[in-house]
Amino acid sequence: MRRPSFEEITDVYERYGEPCNNCIHFEEGILCGLDHRQKEVDVNTGHIPELTVRKIKGCSDHQLKDGVWWNEVPLISSSSVYGGSKTSII
């Protein structure tokens, strides 16, 4: 089965909310610490080729990791009903 593919990371955010990669319950190479079902999606443009997501429109248990993500200033300080903040690639 082919996994979903998106042109940019903002397209992933619009569909799935904040990626699991930026959550305190996520560790690379293992399932969510809360046992949520996850899947990977491809990102065609930019330096992040794949992201892990949970469900459409995000995860109510998402909690942002401290510090910066991907060595960038990653977050726009706006929350959503789904938890987390929007990832900034600008």
**46-90 residue pLDDT tens:** 888 999 999 999 999 999 887 655 445 444 444 443 444 444 443
Relative to beta strand 75-79, strand 85-87 is antiparallel
The answer to whether the CB of 33 falls within 8 A of the CB of 59 is no
The answer to whether the CB of 38 falls within 8 A of the CB of 51 is no
Tell me the C-alpha distance between 27 and 4, whole Å: 21
For residue 44, is pLDDT > 70?
yes
Token pair 């809360």 is at which residue? 34
Tell me the C-alpha distance between 14 and 7, whole Å: 12
